């Protein structure tokens, strides 16, 4: 179908009839304006990431920034948090598919982070249909029918927050003067344009989650995008609120600065644990002294994870901002009561620790986990919406604490096989258009797939990458195990050719000499 585009803009994705309500001239004009204003800075910041990675590969160690010491020592707070974001004891997350949107809104969670990023395979249909779904959901008109069952929204639904794509991701179907637009700006601008005023009229507002940042300068870019966008569509400054996922090791050293840059628009920080582990592996992948144990052994009680979680909590509450705990990947296991009991206890322990530490809420990946997670927070908080008053003066985290990477052992054949299996399974599902996949009773998204392939890559190269039976992890061993794990995956899911392709990609990415920055970047060119 024909739509009117700003000068210089081209859209190569199919324009289905439903998309015309999203890809309007006025909404695309906002995308165009933000792209032209900020794309040069985005590219500069991405280049700065590459340069910083080069220095880390050469042996540099991150530390708190000397040039921003005055911010860390200054007396300031973020702007007041709007009432709709005061109570976030349980937040549920998931992709923008209609059934999942409805189930998440209806789950009983305080807040729902709908995801255009890690739990969503960013093919053109998913991105634009997701906008269609959210626009309808906000206006309470979204319905869905599947297998004879009708899904519709309850009268009481969770507060919506939206996660656009990170700065590193493009939207390849939209170009301006031949240059791809930022996936994050595309997602953000379309959602804001169509829904901000409607959300305000309904007692909430345009609230976002911002992923994958590595510095306060990247937060400053988002803040400047917010300022321009609010001016363009006639919103008072500070209307937009955003929670930043601290899911890179470099951002952990700049938490206060990130809050400061977004202080008029901040809704706090979240401990994005899975991407954080991946970031640590990625940033120290060539360090001969760095090597993490099996993924299952790297929990929130590991020294570097504990330091990160407590520093985030203290930082947020010091600045009047919400501190939200990360995701436990466990999900209900319907056909095995014993395994389900173990999974439920894992969820309960995770949320209890967050609540007792002082966190204001935490994430779950499945509606069946909202009630047990909520119980743990209510036990600690009572009828209080949050724990902003819990300041944690006892917490004093140093750079050495953040870099205390334990445990290093065990690395097992079972752990190696699990990484290969999860990597192939997730990549195959992603190629088929599904970015949120239950695998071995865990809800996996791009972050856990990233851990899987990056651990294998690093174990091959690290002198510490030795199995507990004494065998060195090698490219040859990995190549030998891949066909066996591929067969297991295909037996469990059926025979989509995407899984054969996924196995090839996993082998290439885990055994190649060059480490790919994100697995989603080369994958995106295939969908």
User: Catalytic annotation on 445?
Assistant: yes
Torsion of CA 465, 470, 475, 476, to 10 degrees: 180
Residue 231 CA to residue 192 CA, distance in Å, equals 12
Q: Tell me the longest C-alpha to C-alpha distance in the chain.
A: 64
Residue 433 CA to residue 82 CA, distance in Å, equals 35
DSSP one-letter code for 336: -
- Cβ atoms of 212 and 167 closer than 8 Å: yes
User: Catalytic annotation on 21?
Assistant: no
Residue 130 CA to residue 137 CA, distance in Å, equals 10
3 state DSSP class of 93: strand
Residue with tokens 């996949």, as numbered in its chain? 437
Residue 202 CA to residue 195 CA, distance in Å, equals 11
Residue with tokens 């990477």, as numbered in its chain? 405
Catalytic member of 42, 49, 88, 163: 163
- Those residues whose C-beta lies under 8 Å from the C-beta of residue 38, and which sit 6 or more positions away, are 182, 185, 221, 224, 225, 228
Give the count of beta carbons closer than 10 Å to the beta carbon of residue 310: 20
Q: Compute the Cα dihedral for 297, 298, 300, 305 and give only its sign.
A: positive
CA 325 to each of CA 21, 120, 160, 384: distance values in angstroms, whole numbers, following the listed order: 36, 21, 17, 17
3 state DSSP class of 242: strand
Residue 267 CA to residue 242 CA, distance in Å, equals 5
Catalytic member of 32, 170, 432, 445: 445
User: Token digits for 464?
Assistant: 């510490």
Q: Which class for 160: exposed (0-12), middle (13-18), buried (19 or more C-beta within 10 A)?
A: buried
Label the pairing between strands 323-327 and 207-210.
Answer: unpaired
CA 372 to each of CA 245, 343, 351: distance values in angstroms, whole numbers, following the listed order: 24, 11, 9
Question: What DSSP letter does each residue of 46-102 carry, written as one string?
Answer: HHHHHHHHHHHHTT------GGGHHHHHS---PPPPPGGGT--SEEEEEES-HHHHH
Residues involved in catalysis: 163, 445
């Amino acid at each position: 179908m024909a739509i009117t585009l700003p000068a210089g803009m081209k859209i190569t994705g199919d324009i289905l009839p439903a998309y015309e309500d999203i890809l309007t001239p006025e909404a695309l004009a906002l995308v165009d304006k933000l792209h032209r204003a900020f794309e040069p800075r985005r590219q500069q910041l991405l280049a700065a990431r590459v340069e910083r990675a080069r220095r880390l590969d050469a042996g540099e160690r991150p530390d708190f920034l000397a040039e921003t010491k005055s911010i860390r020592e200054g007396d300031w707070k973020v702007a007041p948090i709007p009432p709709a974001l005061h109570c976030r004891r349980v937040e549920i997350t998931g992709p923008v598919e209609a059934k999942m949107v409805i189930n998440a809104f209806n789950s009983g969670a305080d807040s729902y982070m709908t995801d255009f990023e890690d739990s969503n395979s960013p093919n053109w249909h998913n991105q634009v249909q997701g906008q269609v779904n959210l626009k309808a959901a906000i206006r309470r008109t979204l319905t869905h029918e599947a297998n004879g069952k009708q899904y519709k929204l309850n009268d009481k639904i969770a507060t919506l927050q939206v996660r656009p794509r990170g700065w590193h991701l493009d939207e390849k179907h939209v170009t301006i003067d031949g240059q791809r637009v930022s996936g994050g700006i595309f997602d953000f601008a379309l959602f804001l344009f169509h829904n901000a005023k409607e959300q305000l009229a309904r007692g909430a507002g345009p609230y976002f989650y911002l992923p994958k940042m590595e510095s306060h300068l990247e937060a400053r870019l988002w803040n400047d995008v917010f300022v321009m966008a609010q001016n363009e569509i006639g919103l008072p400054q500070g209307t937009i609120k955003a929670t930043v996922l601290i899911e890179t090791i470099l951002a952990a050293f700049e938490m206060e600065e990130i809050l400061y840059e977004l202080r008029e628009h901040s809704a706090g920080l979240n401990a994005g644990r899975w991407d954080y582990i991946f970031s640590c592996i990625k940033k120290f992948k060539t360090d001969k002294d760095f090597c993490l144990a099996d993924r299952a052994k790297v929990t929130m009680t590991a020294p570097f994870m504990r330091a990160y979680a407590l520093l985030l909590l203290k930082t947020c509450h010091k600045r009047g901002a919400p501190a939200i705990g990360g995701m436990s990947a466990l999900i209900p296991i319907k056909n095995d009561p014993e395994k389900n009991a173990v999974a439920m206890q894992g969820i309960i322990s995770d949320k209890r620790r967050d609540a007792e530490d002082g966190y204001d809420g935490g994430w779950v990946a499945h509606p069946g986990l909202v009630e047990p997670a909520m119980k743990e927070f209510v036990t600690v908080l009572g009828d209080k919406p949050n724990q902003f008053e819990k300041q944690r003066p006892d917490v004093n985290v140093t750079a050495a604490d953040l870099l205390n990477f334990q445990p290093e052992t065990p690395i097992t054949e079972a752990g190696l096989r699990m990484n290969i299996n999860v990597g192939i399974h997730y990549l195959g599902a992603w190629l088929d258009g599904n970015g949120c996949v239950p695998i071995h009773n865990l809800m996996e998204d791009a972050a856990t797939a990233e851990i899987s392939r990056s651990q294998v890559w690093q174990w091959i190269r690290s002198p510490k990458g030795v199995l507990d039976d004494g065998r060195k992890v090698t490219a040859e061993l990995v190549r030998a195990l891949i066909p066996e794990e591929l067969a297991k995956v295909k037996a469990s899911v059926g025979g989509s050719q995407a899984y054969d392709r996924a196995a090839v990609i996993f082998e290439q990415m885990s055994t190649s000499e060059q480490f790919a920055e994100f697995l989603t970047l080369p994958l995106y060119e295939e969908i």
